[in-house]
Chain A
Amino acid sequence: MSPWRIVFLKEVRENMRDKRTMFSTFVLGTLLGPVLFAGLIALIISITLERGEKPLELPIVGAEHAPNLVAWLNNRGVKIEDAPADPEAAIRKREKDVVLRIPAEYAQQWREGRAATVELIVDRSQQKAEQTVGRAERLLAEYSGQTASLRLMVRGVSPEVVQPVLIADVDQSTPQSRGGMLLSMLPYLLILTVFAGGNYLATDATAGERERQSLEPLLINPVSRGQIMGGKLIATFAFAVVSLAISLVAFSLTAKLVPVEKIGMVVKMGPVECALLFLVVAPLGLIGAGLLTSVSAFAKGFREAQTYNTLLIILPAIPSMLMALNPVKPADWMYAVPLLSHQLLIEQTVRGEALVAWQVAASIGATLAIGIVIALIAARLYHREHLAISA
């Protein structure tokens, strides 16, 4: 048996016996993502449904100054409420999302044909109130527009004169692509899983061995250090890949549980999609294993390695977090860049778009090539004289 396989089998066996490692790697690490994800999506769905279906509740100050406007709003299904005593305070304390104030001059301005001012008291920093405020604004704009059209028609002018541009909204999003918007978090979570899955083993197998003084005896064996490092690296990779597989199954199950179709979305995470996602993301495990092993070999002690590796796990997720916030237009070269290509391919898969073979091949090829380079760097670090010296 070649030495790297002996090292690989020993690392796997030893770590399988550690219940804490197994639990944190394969249960906590893999399920936290899907559960968080499902919870968040369920929350978004419930908020969207609630807001969209419930009648708008609109407290009005000075409703007596504009009976026509109030009656019109009432007709449009708005629930008119009595205004709080101090509307500004009510908004600041977040008791109300929006309050409409009709000043006493309203009636006078209206009669004179001047622009009659109404005030919407809002707090623009309140994300939760955004939708309610938007609905109130649209209703008022509609009322204003209707009245304007009526006034023009009374004067024999077509309302079209004052509306030179008419915007027709032709939405090209499909239910899948809208689901993909929610799913933009998924690449982040999957990349995190594949790095985190190997973290414990990589830190333990190099920095931990040194700390426990077993690395020195190990390196005295008549085996090249590259082989020893290789066995540990492949064990790390194996743990990362198994984590990813478990996580994908969990994602697939939770995606079924969350009623995304209620808001007209489809999230594609069936067996085929999961297999594709596995194929695309697994090669990243090699980069992860190489980086984690390099850092563990470079760090002075176990604690130091642990600290660096924890940071290292979060780093690759930064590009995908940025992409989730600020999506870019896919260009061909991006498919040859690890992380970037993963972001694009994962999103395309869960949106139900067909993957292009060369794009998948480019991503896997580039990721494996860079992974091998990093593994060679780890092997170089393993050859440092300093590495073996425990104390």
Chain B
Amino acid sequence: MIELTDLRKTFGTVKAVDGVSFTARDGEITGLLGPNGAGKTTTLRMLYTLMKPETGRISVDGVDIARDPDSARRKLGVLPDARGLYKRLTARENVEYFGRLHGLDEATLKQRTDALIASLGIEDIANRRTEGFSNGQRVKTAIARALVHDPRNVLLDEPTNGLDVMATRALRKFMLQLRAEGRCVLFSSHIMQEVAALCDRIVVIAKGRVVAQGTADELRALTGETNLEDAFVKVIGSEEGLSL
């Protein structure tokens, strides 16, 4: 479970994140929906300890990340916006590198890596160097790398960015599987359909603030719109930066 309370972050005079609070629960997929530049990536970066919030508190499974960042990092599996692989290492070696940094012993590491490679369906490329991988292959490898330590909480920053239909479908299936395993899944997106189709709860963010949150039904009720798409546009205040 992930709880964010009143996060703020400014860059110069720009208030990138301006008082964001929400909770992502175990066994649920929580979607962070917002136009480009709304503050999604900055919010997630504070959550995965890469940036320090100016104010506010973040806890992961009850652990305050400001007080014990390493323990919080162990509980998080993160696919950041930046998902570069080491092109002279194979997919498997990329995954193993992060597993070792998480302190996994060799037996656990092998078992986890094999399991992830199987469930992501990348057996055919596992022992190839990642140079020349397609976008989909790269994202899958990056996800395997992010989840090698079997985290309870999974953060995915715009995971379907740049993927084709097949890869997107495979990824969505994988996220549902993560939910079925009882994990807390939090992902960001600017694609309304995706969020609507996958998420148990939706947090709508615009200009650094949470403008609405709840289930799809709650959002529809809140705005008085029967169409979820219209509901999003209404809470955000414009269609700018959103995709269907």
| Interface positions of A (Cβ within 8 A of B) | 1, 3, 6-7, 10, 13-15, 17-18, 209, 212-224, 385, 388-391
Contacts and interface: CB of A to CB of B under 8 A. Distances in A.
B84 A385 contact: no
B82 A391 contact: yes
A217 B145 contact: yes
Contact of B101 (A216, A223, A388): A223
B214 interface: no
B74 to A, nearest CB: 5
Nearest to A231: B101
Contacts of B52: 385
B100 interface: yes
B222 interface: no
B9 to A, nearest CB: 10
Contact of A213 (B69, B70, B83): B83
B54 to A, nearest CB: 12
A375 to B, nearest CB: 20
A19 to B, nearest CB: 10
Interface string B74-112: 101010111111111100000001101111000000000
A221 B102 contact: yes
Contacts of B71: 222
B73 interface: yes
B80 A216 contact: yes
A224 B52 CA distance: 15
Given A216-B50, A385-B50, A388-B50, A221 B84 contact: no
19 contacts: A6-B101, A18-B88, A212-B87, A213-B82, A215-B82, A216-B80, A217-B98, A217-B142, A217-B146, A218-B98, A220-B48, A220-B49, A220-B76, A221-B73, A221-B102, A222-B74, A222-B103, A224-B70, A385-B52
Contacts of B97: 6, 10
Contact of A214 (B50, B74, B85, B100): B85
A17 B100 CA distance: 20
B88 A217 contact: no
A142 to B, nearest CB: 71
Contacts of A209: 84
Q: Which 3 A-B pairs have the closest CB atoms?
A: A213-B84, A214-B84, A213-B82
